[in-house]
Structure 1
Amino acid sequence: MTPNTAPSAPSAPSRRSFLASTAVAAAAVAGGMPLLAACGGSDSGSGGGTSAGKSAKKLLPAYIATNVVTPDIAAKNGSAVGFTSKLDIAALKTSVPKKLGKGGKVSIMSPFWGSPPKSDNAYYKAMNDLIGVDVEWQNQDGNTYDQKLGAVLASSDIPDVVVIPGWNMGGKIPSAIIGKFADLGPYLSGDAIKQYPNLAAIPTDAWQRSLFGGKLRGLPQPAPYVTGIVPLYRKDIFDKEGYEVPTSADEFMALCKEITNAKAKRWACLDMKWTAFQSFGVLSGSEKPLGWNLVDGKMVYRIETQEYLEALEWTRKLFAAGYVHPDARLGKSAATDPGPKFAAGEFLIYAQNISQWWSRTAEQATQNPDYKIWGMDIFGHDGGSPTLWAEQPAGIFAFVSKKASESVIRDVLAVANVTAAPYGTKEYMLTNYGVEGTHYTVKNGVPTKTDQGNNEVINAYVMVASPTATIAHPDFPEVAKAQVEWQQRMGAFTKKSSFYGMQITEPSRYTNLSNDFEQLEDDIVRGRKKISDMQQAVSDWKSKGGDQLRDWYKKLLDENGPAAS
């Protein structure tokens, strides 16, 4: 079952390689997309701005926790909720006792990975019947969604609902969101949301992220705010060889030396840059606003910090010592799809999205029963506790056209109230798995998709709205438990930077200011450039607009205050 958790984009090797390696496979297996955190912001005009902060509280829906289902592991420290029990179809709860839809038609445009099913398929029919709405899907290739989105939003003919992932919110999209989509506040703000109990159970932070241009416009997919990038390792080989999980940067380096034997085709790891950023306490690089933080009254950007340089230098030493798999040094296959060579034991550690903890386990379960992938706790570089930084609590949003009538908006909310049903309900199973016997079967408490399920129940209704972030793997409950507990332990060390939870669009003149830093990071850790090149690049960044952008962010914070409590 797909964990409803979000990686930090551009996370691990790259956002696109993550989509290629994980999303389609997971969608086919589980009927849902692993969610990607936002890379963009929102607000109108080239001047940029925000619609969040303390002043926005009055726009937010009331939070009313669901009591329909009780998770096996409650959320804590920004984690997902966890379910570790086998699935009991007979015990599924009902969270939507009556149809809220009034029988109208709603068109939805959404990114889609794979081959869209026929429009009259059994899954769509069952969902529409449950909701009481005739949803017409306008699925678009997720890999080229940017272009289609731009064209549609520039036209006068917009579908009733448009799903926009955060990583597609570049360029003119934020201003189009404000200009083209409806204010849902009259239907959802405050106690109004009580008509839609499953939406009322979505965490407030996720709704905070759904404010665009001073209005509540988005229906969110919540995500844990704990980092989604885990140092994954081969626990079976560690146990066999007696390797100890490291608790400092020096211990990690020593472990890599012990593991690596190039003649035997074994290296310690792939590129560990993202783990280095975590270990050294570098501010988040998943989206630009999260890279800024107020420190002793001054606004500081992540690339200016000593921790940033130290993390790059440590990663460079891993490469220079020969501990990194050759494919990662060249940016080749093991870096884009680490699964096969990780399974072969060619390297034992890599940093990737938490969803791969389960997906790699599931891949190897039958052919390699001794295989065990596990997640390391992130260590403070000096052996102490790490300082981690929160990611955004929602990353994909559905928007309703400004031209939509009230009846259409109500029908859209009826759809969202079903798709946001919690795990353990009939509505969740239909949304994520389809019809029992047609799209999936259950054996020993584990649901398994049929061929029809794999063809029809993929990234459609799950894109409209989601329940609170949830991890549930009835096939591997020990993995689900470990994932949630990892998030909870790491959440205890997680801080919220100044612009956590806020939708921000930088002024357009700064759009490309920091575009080249990721490539420079990769060149430095591979020895093609020097730390001094980064110091020069930071100096250039300041003079080319970085210092002005700092003032802009400071003014933004002074005027709006932080969103995080």
Structure 2
Amino acid sequence: MSNSPRLSRRTLLAGAGAGALAVTAAGSLTACGNGGSAQDLANGKATLPSYQPITRSHPDLPSIPPCGVTGYYRYPKARFRSVAKTPASGGTISALVAITAPPPTPHDQNRIWQAAEKRIGARMNLTMITQSDYKQRFTTTIAGGDLPDFMLFQKIANYAQLLQAKFADLTPLLGGDAVHEYPNLANIPTVCWQQAAVGNKLYGLPLCRNGMQGPGLYHKEMFDEVGGYPKDADEFFTFVKELTRPKQNRWGIVGHQGSAYSLKTALMLFKVPFNWQLSGGKLTKDIETDAHKEAVAYLRKLYAAGVFHPDSNAPNNRTKNIFNNGSAAVSTDTVTGLLGAVKNQAKVNPKFQPRALKALAHDGSRGIVYLDFLINSFAVLKKGDEKRLKELLRVADFLAAPIGSQEQQLLTYGVEGETFRFDDKGTPVLTAGHENDSAIPWGFIVNGPMELFDAANPDTVKYRYEGVKDLSPYTVKDPTAGQYSATDATVGETLTQNIMDTCTSIIAGRKPMSAYDAMVKQWRAQGGDKMRDEYEKALAKS
């Protein structure tokens, strides 16, 4: 659990004449009055904010690099003030954000929302859109031209041009030590800002996460039945095969929807480069490596052995339940998924021990873990004068307040004696009638380092923290992170889906292994070689 419930996670034409911005159904930018291609706009390397951690919260479980994840078994006793002055000077501040849970109590009846506004010094007008509908609303809003102050960004086609045309370059205000004017924003590790930058400009406020999704989850008690934790790919195969017992309603693996039967798990197992491999200034795509092909062949062998649950690739709520109820020994869920798995174990079977899969290599050597979950997304600020932008950044600094601060307590729980009380362990508890007031999605404007806290289920903190800690030393980066390819931004999603579809069919035996080479050839011809060239040029200038 995070430190607060607030993270409980056509052709449109804007204007006319010179400088008009066209957004297609796919969200592509077809014209921009500032001149220059999207690829040209993305050259260079941004000066990212320098990290200055806040040390006043005193976590029970210390910060884990690179993303600064901490853990708390008890709510901090000392509540310090992290923002000295009122951030805003009146008026209204608007934001367009996504929501992944039911919306909060409406503003007029929401005392937490109102109390937060009083401290912030402005009316906070949040437009909340369900995650499934957000991309369409984002493109519609861009096309309409009337942008909010804060906006959860979507990486649509030609997004580098879109960022330069419509949103503020935050580099002068936050780059390097300039971020220290906003201590709670400076508390965000530098690596988390990288994905909110394009070329030599910083455009966004990150929504920090664990750092990695991880290879998956496993039932430790089941692996203990067959010999403990495997040491290589052969032993992993043997273990999940032995644990597959259909007559007992148990299988070795359940793959989540869209996972291509646990493809990412196998890619890490076979030490496939994360997205791209960079050597001597030249890039090789992951699918072009022998290791990637070997990983697909390995999964094909696992599938033929019958170890996958029949409902693998079903909707994620179904596959989560399959793992949580003990019908699969391994799941392709993320480290974050331990939250639900550990919570459910006591109800389903107290003997269950769901844990994060550890770094494992096919040949018994040192494993790797993809650094693929630094942030969930980032929020951008509408262009404005320096005075307005600094005011908005002060508000963002307030919203990024860490656990243990008065600001975080206010944003999450509201006013003591009215919307919450402290129980005998010092944990804030929302009072009757205000339980839904705290569901305000502040965390989709900015979110600092993950602070794991769950007073009712401390084991979720313990095992999720341990999962992140165990995996962090093995992380590897995507060498193109923070770089931009106009081709990738335009057709990359389609090409990736083609890869996933083909690999899924090969693994399930619907296509022969010979289809793999044809898939790689198609990827290169349909844009892969072009995006490689664009990324190499961008890297050469960074």
TM-score range, shorter chain: 0.7 to 0.9
User: Residue type matched to 2:136 in 1?
Assistant: Q
Match of 1:66 in 2: 54
- 1:163-201 CA-to-partner distances (Å, cap 9, x unmatched) read 22xxx3122544322211122334333443333111122
- 1:477-501 CA-to-partner distances (Å, cap 9, x unmatched) read 3442333333233222222332234
Match of 1:457 among 438, 441, 444: 438
Q: Check conservation: 1:48, 1:508, Cα contact below 8 A.
A: no
Partners of 2:346 and 2:399 in 1: how far apart? 30
Match of 2:467 in 1: 486
Q: 1:80 to 1:132 in 2, by over 3 A?
A: same
Match of 1:207 in 2: 193
Q: Which moved more, 1:364-373 or 1:338-347?
A: 364-373
Q: Does 1:279 align with 2:269?
A: yes
1:301 shift after superposition = 0.3
Match of 1:154 in 2: 143
1:93 shift after superposition = 2.4
Q: Check conservation: 1:64, 1:200, Cα contact below 8 A.
A: yes
1:95 shift after superposition = 1.4
Partners of 1:368 and 1:448 in 2: how far apart? 28
Q: Check conservation: 2:367, 2:474, Cα contact below 8 A.
A: yes
Q: Does 1:101 align with 2:88?
A: yes
Q: Does 1:475 align with 2:456?
A: yes
Flag the structure with more relative contact order, 1 or 2, with Cα contacts below 8 A and sequence separation at least 6.
1
1:316 shift after superposition = 1.4
Match of 2:103 in 1: 115
Match of 2:234 in 1: 250
1:527 shift after superposition = 1.4
Partners of 1:484 and 1:115 in 2: how far apart? 28
Q: 1:307 to 1:146 in 2, by over 3 A?
A: same
Which of structure 1's runs of 4+ aligned residues deviate more than 6 A?
40-45
Q: 1:379 to 1:277 in 2, by over 3 A?
A: same
Q: Does 1:218 align with 2:204?
A: yes
Q: 1:117 to 1:503 in 2, by over 3 A?
A: farther
Q: Does 1:420 align with 2:362?
A: no
**Identity over aligned residues, as a percent?**
29
- 1:330-355 CA-to-partner distances (Å, cap 9, x unmatched) read x335x543233323322121021211
State the SS of the aligned residue for 1:229. coil
Match of 2:529 in 1: 547
Q: 1:370 to 1:436 in 2, by over 3 A?
A: farther
Partners of 1:492 and 1:41 in 2: how far apart? 38
Q: Check conservation: 2:42, 2:538, Cα contact below 8 A.
A: no
- 1:144-172 CA-to-partner distances (Å, cap 9, x unmatched) read 111111011112211122122xxx31225
Partners of 1:91 and 1:441 in 2: how far apart? 16
Q: Check conservation: 2:98, 2:152, Cα contact below 8 A.
A: yes
- 1:323-380 CA-to-partner distances (Å, cap 9, x unmatched) read 111111xx335x5432333233221210212111122222444564444321221211
Q: Check conservation: 2:66, 2:191, Cα contact below 8 A.
A: no
Q: 1:425 to 1:559 in 2, by over 3 A?
A: same
Q: Does 1:48 align with 2:39?
A: yes
Q: 1:84 to 1:143 in 2, by over 3 A?
A: same
Match of 2:380 in 1: 399
State the SS of the aligned residue for 2:7. coil
Partners of 2:335 and 2:396 in 1: how far apart? 26
Match of 1:496 in 2: 477
Partners of 1:31 and 1:509 in 2: how far apart? 33
State the SS of the aligned residue for 1:475. coil
Matched positions, count: 511
- Structure 1: unaligned runs, 5 residues or longer: 4-28, 35-39, 285-290, 561-565
Q: Does 1:196 align with 2:187?
A: no
State the SS of the aligned residue for 1:151. helix
Match of 1:13 in 2: none
- Structure 2: unaligned runs, 5 residues or longer: 10-26, 256-261
State the SS of the aligned residue for 1:74. strand
User: Residue type matched to 1:321 in 2?
Assistant: A
Q: 1:161 to 1:72 in 2, by over 3 A?
A: same
Partners of 1:346 and 1:78 in 2: how far apart? 34
- 1:298-326 CA-to-partner distances (Å, cap 9, x unmatched) read 31001111111111111111111111111
Q: Does 1:134 align with 2:146?
A: no
State the SS of the aligned residue for 1:481. helix
Match of 1:315 among 299, 304, 312: 299
Partners of 2:41 and 2:301 in 1: how far apart? 40
Q: 1:554 to 1:410 in 2, by over 3 A?
A: closer
User: Residue type matched to 1:144 in 2?
Assistant: D
Partners of 1:250 and 1:42 in 2: how far apart? 48
Match of 2:371 among 386, 390, 401: 390
Match of 2:277 in 1: 293
Q: Map 1:358-373; keep pairs closer than 5 Å.
A: 358-366=339-347, 368-373=349-354
1:259 shift after superposition = 1.0
State the SS of the aligned residue for 2:163. helix
- 1:531-562 CA-to-partner distances (Å, cap 9, x unmatched) read 210111112222344333322222221122xx
Q: 1:332 to 1:207 in 2, by over 3 A?
A: closer
Match of 1:24 in 2: none
Q: 1:327 to 1:46 in 2, by over 3 A?
A: farther
Match of 2:24 in 1: none
Q: Check conservation: 1:47, 1:508, Cα contact below 8 A.
A: no
1:517 shift after superposition = 0.6
State the SS of the aligned residue for 2:333. strand
Q: 1:495 to 1:345 in 2, by over 3 A?
A: closer
Partners of 1:161 and 1:242 in 2: how far apart? 52
State the SS of the aligned residue for 2:287. helix
State the SS of the aligned residue for 1:455. coil
1:518 shift after superposition = 0.9
1:208 shift after superposition = 3.1
Partners of 1:454 and 1:103 in 2: how far apart? 28
Partners of 1:196 and 1:352 in 2: how far apart? 35
Q: 1:551 to 1:215 in 2, by over 3 A?
A: closer
Q: 1:140 to 1:514 in 2, by over 3 A?
A: closer
1:277 shift after superposition = 1.1
Partners of 2:137 and 2:453 in 1: how far apart? 34
User: Residue type matched to 1:388 in 2?
Assistant: V
TM-score, length basis structure 1 = 0.82
Partners of 2:40 and 2:318 in 1: how far apart? 38
- 1:491-520 CA-to-partner distances (Å, cap 9, x unmatched) read 222223322344554366644444411111
